[in-house]
Structure formats: C-alpha cells, structure tokens
Amino acid sequence: MKISEIAFSCYPVTDMARARSFYEGVLGLTVTMDHQAENLHWVEYDIGSGTLAIGVAPGMNPSMEGCSVSLEVDNFDEAIAELQAAKVEFNFGPIETPVCHMAFVRDPDGNSVGIHKRKPEHP
C-alpha cells in the first residue's frame, strides 16, 4: 500500500445546524459538499489542498480527547480577536513557539480545532 495524501479529516457532530453555525458563521468556511442519506449527514469544506468534514452518523461520536485539525490563518491576532468576540471556548493558548503562533478552541460538540500561523521564516 502506498499512501499519497490525507483525503480528508472529519469531526463527528451531534447537531448539524449548530455545527454549521460554528464552522461557517464563526470560522467563515464555505461548504463544498453537503450530502444527506438515511442515517448520514456529511458536509465538507475544501481548504487549500485539504478537506475538513463534519458528519452525523451512527457510531460517530464527538470527543474532547480526539485528534484535532489546525487551520492556518492569514492574521493570527485578528483570528483570535474574532473568536474571543464570538465567545468561543479556548482549550489552549494562544501561545507562541519558535516556529508558529497557535491556539486551540472547542466547537459546539467539544471537538478541538487549532488556529495556527507559521512564522515567515518557517514556511
């Protein structure tokens, strides 16, 4: 088996309308696919060369301890200010490391979402 790329990352959510308010309203993402079937509701957001999905399906359960996706932003300070103004829960940070600035927030189901900005000298 040869893996060529990460196809997508997905967060399980319990309330699609509430989740979409966060991902589209607070984070400003644009829906690129919205699919509903009998026991499934799947929404995708293409970001650069990757895809972030949110989904409601049997067996998919949100977890505060699960993996997280970090979203690269153009202006870290502005992004943090917007999240604070929206009263989004911060899980960690904001902090500065030798290569970046980052913070982790929680979506309405408790999933951890990273906000990230690489320093110019670390493309």
For 28-66, the pLDDT digits (tens) are 999 999 999 999 999 999 999 999 999 999 999 998 888
What class is the 9-118 domain?
A: alpha beta
The residues near 26 (Cβ < 8 Å, ≥ 6 apart) are 82, 83, 86, 88
For 72-100, the pLDDT digits (tens) are 999 999 999 999 999 999 999 999 999 99
Where exactly are the structural domains of the chain? 9-118
Torsion of CA 59, 55, 27, 107, to 10 degrees: -20
Tell whether the model's pLDDT for residue 123 goes beyond 70: no
Q: How many helices (H) and strands (E) does the chain have?
A: 2, 8
Tell whether the model's pLDDT for residue 3 goes beyond 80: no
- Conformational region of residue 25, where left means phi above 0, alpha means psi within -120 to 50, and beta covers everything else: alpha
